[in-house]
Structure 1
């Protein structure tokens, strides 16, 4: 009997030590308590805290930090509580959130960051939070929402991003949220341009609950200000179309060593698309977003190309010039047209032929070269072959003699050249 009592006393002491150990581990001024099913609550709301408290029990699954004066979150703010399932941070003064703050909280199901001052959120942290079911970011100062922000959140059911400063939401943003049942997006200053047209159509057909639809309104353009997104008229929007053509500087001017090679990208679309160039050679990759030369490039003399120090000249009208073209510039040239409706691009392979590397060998080794007669806006790739061949001296009608120079011939497949031989 004495042994039994001694054993009971020992167990009681161990239980008390464990209980008080947990209680003592709870930092002031928070209170910590156990809940059913092994859950542990840390209650730290309304405590005038300016930072996440240090010393929280490692088994906390619910952390309440609402209604404090916390102004920032760092990567290690929740390093002690990686078992969190619910995190409540509403009504603080949070303006800065470090990258990686939430990425280790892989068991999180609920995050409430509403009513703060957040302008820039670490969206990449959400990729690891595949168990997330509710995300509240309403009543902040968010300016943008990446289209891929929720791509891993297949269990997300409730999303609150209303009352922010977002002018647009990108198409495909909600494609991966197959469990979404409630979405709050009202009271954002939407720019009702072609970029937002997809959202109007999506709202008309979705089964997701969208509260306060009448408060999803336009802030721009001026003539649509205050109009509900669902009531805006049909917009004149057209996906870009483009055609790529080719030109060299064969004219009556004296040619210098090296060929100035030009590519011209003709584009249409509504609104007017922007032209971008992507260049891939064996030694470099270059992306040029917009013109780096102020002029159009239509009637500029070849000499002006030679004097420019840039390797690649992009003009306002979409032309790309390559002064002093040589073998190092062989590669793939892609013209990309971008507007609010979408993106299209067309590519060409440019190769330099010589007696050592004849055109027949280039064509034989290029699988795209056989696609003759295709619509250039739909073709994957074409090939342009430039020949450098010496010519005989030539005298013009004025009696001036032209020195032997280099001349170029472009073999264009499925495209019409801009000049005739």
Structure 2
């Protein structure tokens, strides 16, 4: 009889646990985990158990999330919403998840990111994954505003890889003062400008591999030097080893201790320099300085020669004027007299036309 009672209690507990799991989801109280993977869900399911710490809602058809989507999930620390085709994240969507430490929004289509989309109570968020998450590169302006307004002062890791980013707005990371890891690989960044990484003095890892950097000008080098503690990755960029690359090559040799893939950095263009180590470019003779010195000498010589020629022409002209001074003076007088006669003729004609008596006489003659 006791054994039967125990079985009934066990079944009741089992049924209650099963009943608390949302439809089309898998729940494990022991692992504090709920998974709703590839279930064609159109919204965040309701009835997620309060014990949930790890919540995986991935591979569904959820287009928008807002504050009402994640109510009552105070214990969730790891939330994955990847691959859901999410296009809009409203402000304070995650504000109720006061224990949230890791948020994965990768592989979505974020076109609208509201200013306080990533605000979390107690600023508990440590990891934010936005890899392959932005709908297009124009969404980066929304993202910049959200990173500024979402109170992410305790964020440690940010992944923005595989987003086709062409540029980064100035000071986009300035409010992420505690960021340690920044992933920017597999984008289309063509330059590093002043204030690109402003505010990231504590950064420890910066991945810029597989972008479109042909060189890093002095402005960009100063920006990278403003990250004194960061280990850098710069591989798989199409570096062009022409004269303009020399300051960058010299900087690489000076800073190779903090560049994790320095030995693997090679020239992509021109063809004659392809696969040449970037560390060797600084010591190679590209002909830049020699050409520049020679060109400067040639240019200076040309200026001197041109000055001599122009001076000689000027002297000849003055000499010709001197020899023909009488004829020139006579010609000037003749032009003056001709102009005076022309002026007097016009003046006389004007007086005739303006005399009313002459006008009346002319009218009577016509009658």
After superposition, give the CA deviation of every residue in 1:312-366 in whole Å (9 maximum; x if it has no partner): xxxxxxxxxxxxxxxxxxxxxxxxxxxxxxxxxxxxxxxxxxxxxxxxxxxxxxx
Structure 1, unpaired ranges of 5+:
1-18, 242-266, 273-297, 300-394, 403-421
Distance 1:237 1:31, change over 3 A: farther
* Residue 145 (structure 2) pairs with residue 100 (structure 1): yes
Alignment partner, residue 44 of structure 1: 81
Alignment partner, residue 58 of structure 2: none
Alignment partner, residue 128 of structure 2: 87
User: Which structure has greater helix proportion?
Assistant: 2
- Structure 2 residue aligned with 1:211, among 256, 260, 279? 260
- Structure 1 residue aligned with 2:224, among 174, 177, 180? 174
User: What's the offset of the Cα at 1:211?
Assistant: 3.1
Higher relative contact order (CA 8 A, sep 6+): 1
Distance 1:63 1:121, change over 3 A: farther
Higher CA-based Rg: 2
After superposition, give the CA deviation of every residue in 1:379-419 in whole Å (9 maximum; x if it has no partner): xxxxxxxxxxxxxxxx95521659xxxxxxxxxxxxxxxxx
> Counterpart of 1:159 in 2: which secondary structure?
strand
* Equivalenced residues, count: 232
Within 5 A, what are the aligned runs for 1:355-370? none
Aligned equivalents of 2:113 and 2:332: distance in 1? 74
User: Which structure has greater strand proportion?
Assistant: 1
Distance 1:123 1:178, change over 3 A: same
Alignment partner, residue 67 of structure 1: 106
Distance 1:158 1:49, change over 3 A: same
Distance 1:30 1:220, change over 3 A: farther
- Structure 2 residue aligned with 1:230, among 256, 279, 283? 279
Alignment partner, residue 5 of structure 1: none
TM-score, normalised relative to structure 2: 0.52
After superposition, give the CA deviation of every residue in 1:61-96 in whole Å (9 maximum; x if it has no partner): 535234322243545262644834431112335423
Structure 2, unpaired ranges of 5+:
1-48, 54-65, 300-308, 311-323, 334-367
> Counterpart of 1:164 in 2: which secondary structure?
coil
- Whether the aligned pair in 2 keeps the contact of 1:30 and 1:42 (CA below 8 Å) is no
- Whether the aligned pair in 2 keeps the contact of 1:70 and 1:93 (CA below 8 Å) is yes
